[in-house]
Amino acid sequence: MKNILYIVILLLFIQCKSDSKDKLLVPKQENKFVWIYKPAGDYFFGPDTEFLKEGQWYDEWVPNDHTFVKGEDGKWHIFGITHPLVMSDPLSKGIHDGEYASFHAISSKNSFKESVEEYHYKDLPKILSPQERPGEILANHAPYIIKNDGFFQMVYGHSPIRLAVSSDLMNWKPKGNLFSLEDGKGDEKKLFGDARDPNLLYHEGTYYIVYCSTKSVRMRISKNLKAWSEEKIILRTESYDPESPSLIFYNNTFYLFVCSWDGIWDQKEIVGAYQHKTYVLQSDDILDFGKDHEKEVTVLNAHAPEIFQDEEGQWYISSVEWPNRGVSVDKLWWE
């Protein structure tokens, strides 16, 4: 009888552990965004565009896809797309004009929590303008940075997806193309080609790069950040165009955060082009996030979000242009 009772208790204990392990956690945001980075005025790095002049001062700048990284000095840094505000007619004509370099902003504090204050991050000189990376296409979009082999490694787009390295986050050296896709010649809907907005996940000794393409999010795999596999489509969409993917591994499963563009914009205000609906999809298979909303677990408010943790393990979600021009952050909780 004692043996039977022991077996029953053991089975119940195993079942409880299994239930706890398998519980699906869903991210919830606090919805209290703090505007931590407001871009300062600057001279346009060039070259001239239809709407912008090299060397001319512009008061307002518009950041977009960005990344957070902590430097060896203990300070947090933000890098991302930027260009002067262009009020063209129609607005769509100049919405991405002059996105040729990354902004670089830095905190003065040694913990991220202490840096979450209004306008805390201050501009440093912009990086990787066309003059600093001769032979490349003009665009410098959506940087993402990871530490590897003693160097900070930055991937950026759009296609071809490229690499730059730095030892100190201040001085960057372009290292050329990682891979490229067709640039959508003959198809005006493919504004940025078929590989854009790269994001990296390092998991169990392997690098996974995800990026957006036409009606899909795609992935390549590498052991060394240099040699990459052929691409695989991990998410197909029909009801929206995916943007700015972020891939994380948490609680023994994978989450894909992807911003959406539905093509609806009245062009009355710039912010209307920066839609702030972010779908969160979950999958135990890193190569399969289904189709459209098949594996969706929630929807969050953010444009071009980055998902990351601070030194104390607190999760954050960032957003640009919405709700403020610059970078804002909000706390994330898992329930």
Q: Which residue has the tokens 């040699």?
A: 227
User: CA distances (Å), 116 to each of 123, 211, 278, 282, 290, in order?
Assistant: 16, 28, 22, 28, 35
User: CA distances (Å), 73 to each of 109, 147, 168, 169, 319, in order?
Assistant: 10, 14, 9, 10, 25
Backbone φ and ψ for 293, nearest 5 degrees, come out as -100, 15
User: Over the chain, what is the mean pLDDT?
Assistant: 91
pLDDT on residue 284: 98
pLDDT on residue 194: 77
Q: Is the pLDDT of residue 91 over 50?
A: yes
Q: How many CB atoms lie within 10 A of CB 79?
A: 28
Assign 14 a pLDDT band (cuts: 50, 70, 90). very low
Q: Is the pLDDT of residue 12 over 50?
A: no
Checking phi first, is residue 81 left (phi over 0); if not, alpha (psi -120 to 50) or beta?
beta
* CATH no., domain 32-334: 2.115.10.20
pLDDT in tens, 297-313: 999 999 999 999 999 99
Assign 17 a pLDDT band (cuts: 50, 70, 90). very low
Share of the chain above pLDDT 90, in %: 87
Assign 21 a pLDDT band (cuts: 50, 70, 90). low
User: CA distances (Å), 3 to each of 7, 14, 330, in order?
Assistant: 6, 16, 53
Task: Give CA–CA dist 281/303, Å, rounded.
Answer: 16
pLDDT on residue 182: 56
Q: Is the pLDDT of residue 183 over 70?
A: no
Contact of 279 with 244, CB cutoff 8 Å:
no
pLDDT on residue 149: 86
Contact of 130 with 46, CB cutoff 8 Å:
yes
Average pLDDT over residues 274-302: 98
Q: Is the pLDDT of residue 187 over 60?
A: no
Contact of 295 with 282, CB cutoff 8 Å:
yes
Q: Which residues are within 8 A (CB) of 112 and not within 5 positions of it... i.e. 6 or more apart?
A: 68, 70, 76, 310, 311, 314, 316
In 3D, which of 326, 304, 333 has the Cα closest to residue 35? 326
* Domains in the chain: boundaries: 32-334
Q: Is the pLDDT of residue 134 over 80?
A: yes
pLDDT on residue 7: 45
Residue that wins the pLDDT comparison between 180 and 44: 44
Share of the chain above pLDDT 70, in %: 90
In 3D, which of 184, 181, 253 has the Cα closest to residue 220? 181
Write out the H or E segment, with its range, that includes residue 157.
strand 151-157
In 3D, which of 193, 277, 187 has the Cα closest to residue 240? 277
In 3D, which of 329, 152, 172, 169 has the Cα closest to residue 225? 152
pLDDT on residue 180: 81
pLDDT on residue 186: 35
Q: Where are the beta strands (DSSP E) in 284-334?
A: 296-301, 307-309, 315-320, 327-334
Assign 22 a pLDDT band (cuts: 50, 70, 90). low
